[in-house]
Structure formats: C-alpha cells, structure tokens
Amino acid sequence: MTPPTLPEPRIIPRSEHPISRANIDREALKVMYRLRDAGHRAYLVGGGVRDLMLGRTPKDFDISTDAHPGELRKLFRNSRIIGKRFRLVQVFYHGGKIIEVSTFRCRSEFEENGGDAVLAQNNTFGTPAEDAFRRDLTINALFYEIENFTVIDYTGGVADLHNRIVRMVGDPERRITRDPVRMLRAIRHAARQGFTVEGETWAAIRANADKLALCPVSRIRDEFMKDLRSGAMREWAKLALASTLFFAILPCYAQRLPGGEDPGFYGRPEAQGNETLALLFRVLDMVDRFCTEGTAVPDEVLFALLLLPWAIAEFDLLRPREQKGGEGYRFTRRLREALDVNLEHLGIKRASKEEITLLLSSLPLFVQHEKDGEWPRWLARKSYFQQALTFYRLYQAAAAGAALPEIAAPEPAPPKAKRRRGGGHRRGARTTAFATTKGGIFGLKK
C-alpha cells in the first residue's frame, strides 16, 4: 500500500520565533552537535520546543534523529538503550543528567487504516514528517534544528500555540480509538497551559471517554499520577469532569458531583453549591500548592485527600463513632471494601490501600476528641497517631481554605508507651508510611 503524501513543513526562521540556544540545555546541544558532525539530522523535539516557544524553561530536552539506536551507542559511549515498544537511547552526563534520544518513527499501517482496536506495538523507523504526524498533539509535534536555528512545523502547532489551543494530530476520533490514553494527555496539557481543547478533539474525547478502560491499568495509573502531581489539578478536574473522564478514573464520584458539558460550568455558582464539589476543589488547591511549592507528599496521602470529599459524603465520615463493640472495625472494613472496588482499575497496591483506609477512617476519632479538648492517652500512643493527626490538619485546612503554612508545623510528640518486658513490638502495631518531623510536612523537606 502506498503511504499517504505528507504536507511540506512550515519553516519558521530565527527572526520569527523566540527560541535561543542560550536557553537550551548545554548537554542537549552537545548531543545535537555531535550527531550533526557525524552526518546525521538531529532536532530538539516535543515539550521542550513547546515550552521554549512559550518562553518557559523546559523540564526535559528530548532529541530525535535519523541515527538508529546502534549507531547512537557507537557515538555516545556514555549511553544505554532502553525500551521495549520503541527503543530509546539515554545519554548520561555528570550530575545525573540524562538526555533521551529517539530515532524518527513512522506512522504504522495499523495506525492509519486499522480497525477499532488499541494501538499495536510498532518499532518502525521513519522520516521527520512521519515522526511529527505520529505524535499526539500539534503543540508537541514541533522540531527545532541547530543548523539554521529554525522551527519546523508539519502539523500547525505554531498557530495552535499562538491561539492557545490543544488539538489532536490527525483525525481525533481515529487517534483516540487507537490509543485512548491520548485523551488524558490532551486535557493535561490544556490544564497546565491554560489552553482550550479544540472542538473536534473535545467532541471525540466526550464520545470516547468510556474507552479509557481498554488501556492497561499501569498506563492509566502512570498518566493519572502525572496529572495528580502536575500543579494544575483544579483546572484538570474541570476539564475531566466536563469530558466525563473524571468518572472513568474515579467512578466513586459519579453520583456525587454535578454534570456539565462545558468546563466553565464548574466555576459557576450552581456547581459550587454542591458541597462535595466545593470541598474537592479546595482539596485540589492544596494538592496543587504541594506541587508548586516543592513539598514532597507520598502518593497515599494524595489519594486520601482526593477521595476525602467522596468518603465524607458516602460514609458520613466526620460523624463520631463508638470505638468499642466492633462498630469502628465494621466501619473501617466497609470503607476498605469500597476502596477496593473504586481503586481496582488503577492497580493501587494493597499496602497503599491500607494506608489510605487508615487516614480516612481515623478522621472521626480526631473530630470527636478535639471537641473534648485533648487527645486521649490511648489514641496518642497509637503508632499511626502522628500521621493521622497530620492528615486531619490537612482536612481542616482544606475545609477552611487555609494556607498551607498554617498546617505545616508538627504537633508535639505524644508520650511514648512503655516497652513491654521481653522486647519487640506490641502486637498489632502499624508501621507508618510518613511522619511529621521538623523540617517539612510529613518529615520530607521542601
């Protein structure tokens, strides 16, 4: 079959774009110059070019070239080949810096003409044009080359950057059907950049949100964790709710949050009147502050915060409960069973679900006993006391919309329990996933 003819690129000269070599990582330039001197083409690609065009400092500087992995290994002795689906070469430099170099890939015949199935494995090398059209979004399909300092645009990405639009490369319906994870990437970049999702792309996402379940659990989890730590979760949530992707990832909220086709709906009074949604947005504001301020927080805590508004509504979580007679145990067991059901599709580890359950189920204890004016001795001696108290302070700050510094200070350490004769740990003692110590929240420095 004759491959389709790809359009000629738009070449943006140095005088018409803001990218300067002074803003490109020195090691990335070294890699490109060595490839050029060896007779190969080498372009800065993807998010690095996008960020430079927006006047931002890229997190990564990735390079694509016509050199194959074996040739790259010969050129860069300080490198290794990684990857199964498509092999990449990582070039190592001092200080732990890594520059990833990929060979131009081609669009597979399956990608262009395949049936309604998830994208198959493909390792075929291609041309720069084919590589550009294989990428997910137009704003991530730009190349920068160092020979003439030009930006190469095959897909209209420069215009979309100027117009602040996120657009799928090619036919959105077909591209999403081949790989549904592309939906998550589209709304992530729209949330991070403050862009609008282009109309056809948005319609295809809304029509295919349920297809996310076709993807491997590990891919969904990994992509979602990028969103959770992006620093733009509140804006992400508005887009994810309006597209219904939010409920594909967190089905427990399906009956608790209002629905609206327009992301702007979630900023309006009629939506904000929903108490669960209002608390969710305050929690996400807190999560975003953690990320933007560089505060390291364990995944279990982030998930517990994310699930907190649902748990409060679903289980009347803040109601004090009698701990004697098994009521507390039965409540914790019901909560854990609900978490098993609602987190199964994300592949969360058992130990992590235990920690999330502990954090959520401990809140009624702290609500009840803080009203009494002091922590009972039996609670203060629990091995999980400090971590659960810190989570309770986070809840209080989220509920009140308080600033993060007001809750970062550690509580005084509870009195230590006397060690039983014979040594060892007390039966039933839990190990803690995090602790509040001087130097930062959860004991992890900023």
**What distance in Å separates the CA atoms of residue 152 and residue 132, rounded to the nearest whole number?**
10
CA 289 to chain centre: 15
User: In terms of Cα–Cα distance, which of 367, 343, 368 is closest to 354?
Assistant: 343
Please state, in angstroms and rounded to a whole number, the distance separating the CA atoms of residues 257 and 356. Answer: 22
Burial 170-205 (b: 16+ CB within 10 A, else e): bebbebbbbbbbbbbbbbbbbbbbebbbbeebbebb
Selected catalytic residue, list 66, 136, 160, 227: 136
**Cα Rg of the chain (Å, integer):** 25
* Rounded Cα distance, 15 and 80, in Å: 37
CA nearest neighbour of 57 among 28, 78, 93: 28
136 is catalytic: yes
Residue with tokens 């949604």: 277
The CA distance from 151 to 144, in Å, is 5
Q: Answer for the pair 201, 173: CB distance below 8 angstroms, yes or no.
A: no
The Cα 291–Cα 264 span in angstroms is 24
Distance in angstroms (rounded) separating the CA atoms of residues 190 and 28: 27
Among 62, 66, 131, 160, the one annotated catalytic: 62
Which stretches within 123-268 are classed as H helix?
Answer: 128-134, 157-163, 172-178, 181-193, 199-208, 217-228, 233-243, 245-249
Catalytic entry in 37, 60, 210, 262: 60
60 is catalytic: yes
Which pair of structure tokens corresponds to residue 333? Answer: 């067991």
Q: Which tokens go with 341?
A: 């059901």
Alpha-carbon span 345 to 347, nearest angstrom:
6
Count the neighbouring beta carbons within 10 Å of the beta carbon of residue 428.
7
Task: Indicate the DSSP class of residue 160.
Answer: H
Element holding 367 (H helix, E strand):
helix 363-371
How far apart (Å, rounded) are the C-alpha atoms in residues 229 and 326? 37
285 is catalytic: no
Residue 169 contacts residue 133 (beta carbons within 8 Å): yes
State the catalytic residues: 60, 62, 136
